Amino acid sequence: MRIKSCIAIGTLLTLSLTACGGSAPGGAAPASPDASGTIKIGSIHPLTGALAFDGQQMSKAIKLAAKAINDSGGIKSLGGAKLEILDADSQGKPEIGQSEAQRLTQAGAVALVGPYQSAVAAQVATVAERNKVPFVIDVASADDILKQGYTYTFRLQPSSDTLGRYGARYLKDLADRTGQQITKVAYLHEQTDYGSSTYESFTDEAAKLGLQVGPRITYDALKAADLTTELTKVKAAGVDALAVTGYYRDGLLTAKAIASVQPGVKIVLGVSHGAFSSPVFPRDGGAAAEGVYDSNFNYDATKPESKAILDAFQAEYGEELRFIPFTSYECVRLVAAALEKAASRDPAKIREALAGISFDTLMAFDGPVQFDESGQNENATPIVLQVQDGKVVPVHPAAKAVAEPRPAAE
């Protein structure tokens, strides 16, 4: 069953990979990649520690993507060469991520994918640039990562600026569509660059829309054991809505605290949240999860290829694939498309292929993956999902939705 699932995905996705092919762009090789055998791709994620479950799913998704590509004939412009995934555990620590990135490049990785945390991504990017090895960020949104003039670092997902601004716009859209008046918004977020940069862009955009943001409440996602005190502050502020940015584990703490404190808000909106769009959040979050929204990047649920990947992951690992690891899966497909286009194992030529690529992704973006001069995917945008009847479903904008948004009371 597992073999058949991967072959089926490969059949569905082969066309989009080969369609990206072209002549090999120029570029000097920084090393001498093995001209035969497997093509090594480094995967860096938190496989242990507080973020381990998501990190492990990201690693599994990357391996599943490589298996599907290999089962479909490998990289055809390189004679059917197969992909090999080299795993690394960042432990959620920037310094470990940096040393592991160096180890992977020395082991012959021609590209790196990862790493889930912005602080880790900033360190991995320095290694990629120094070694001239392409680094494709699957999840890490802080704006500063791509403001360093890097040429070997690329990001598939939206930036924090995009996520924050769309979050504010979508909050107003949701209020209008559900007939609720929203003027005051509390913002709860984890305290690193990921949460802070998303908050800042949300607040800036909210002001343009006539929304008042405050209080701002922060917490340490790696150490938090309870968020009741934080939600009590939200309740005391008498706000209309609560915006939240965080990871999965602390997202469950937020849901638990909402159920306990009953802050009385009309809308709870995740803004690039690591929990609220997860298919297992309704189960883990219980009754408090029902009606919660999340403005976030996600796969396109209207495409049959997306369902094929979800089914194959379930068959292979006995788990539901979350939206964040789905992004990791897409990054491997993206690197494979760049390899096809480059027709080379040379990291410099792979980098040139990525810089000029137009890749049809299964993410619910506004267009194909195309990178601007900074390395940001310029068509990456979020959608809104909501927990309805125990399931997470896309509800906004209409072109990507499979259901209508509901007021929280329903």
- Residue 33's pLDDT is 53
In this structure, of 12-21, 117-126, 180-189, 305-314, the range with the lowest mean pLDDT score is 12-21
Is residue 318 over pLDDT 90? yes
- Residue 1's pLDDT is 39
From 254, 259, 290, 258, select the one nearest 271 (Cα to Cα): 254
For residue 64, the tally of other CB atoms under 10 A from its CB is 26
What is the three-class DSSP state of 277? Answer: coil
Mean confidence (pLDDT) of the chain: 91
Which amino acid appears at position 337 of this protein?
A
Q: What is the pTM of this model?
A: 0.84
pLDDT digits (tens, 9 = 90+) for 213-243: 999 999 999 999 999 999 999 999 999 999 9
- Residue 32's pLDDT is 47
Q: Angle 368-44-369 (CA atoms, 0-180°, nearest 5)?
A: 5
- Residue 21's pLDDT is 39
pLDDT digits (tens, 9 = 90+) for 237-291: 999 999 999 999 999 999 999 999 999 999 999 999 989 999 999 999 999 999 9
The top-scoring range by mean pLDDT among 116-120, 132-136, 395-399 is 132-136
Tokens of 330: 């897409």
Instruction: List the 83-89 sheet strands across, edge first.
Output: 83-89, 39-45, 111-114, 135-137, 153-155
- Residue 302's pLDDT is 87
- Using CA atoms, how far apart are residues 358 and 60, in angstroms rounded to an integer? 26
- Using the structure block, give the residue that is written with the tokens 């080379």: 344
Mean pLDDT of 88-111: 98
pLDDT digits (tens, 9 = 90+) for 140-186: 998 999 999 999 999 999 999 999 999 999 999 999 999 999 999 99
From 57, 39, 34, 37, select the one nearest 47 (Cα to Cα): 57
Helical H runs in 19-142? 52-71, 94-106, 118-131
pLDDT band at 376 (very low <50, low <70, confident <90, very high): very high
- Residue 10's pLDDT is 52
Q: Which string of b and e fits 377-393 if b means at least 16 CB within 10 Å?
A: bbbbbbbbbbbbeeebe
> Which has more confidence, 104 or 34?
104
- Using CA atoms, how far apart are residues 351 and 222, in angstroms rounded to an integer? 34
% of the chain beyond a pLDDT of 70: 91
Q: CB neighbours of 34 closer than 8 A, spacing ≥ 6?
A: 108, 345
pLDDT digits (tens, 9 = 90+) for 1-59: 344 444 445 545 543 444 443 333 333 333 445 566 999 999 999 999 988 999 999 99
Q: Would you call the peptide bond into 215 cis, given omega within 30 degrees of 0 as the criterion?
A: yes
Contact 148, 78 (CB under 8 A): no
pLDDT band at 343 (very low <50, low <70, confident <90, very high): very high
DSSP lists the bridge partners of residue 392 as 387
- Residue 408's pLDDT is 73
Tokens of 254: 């937020």
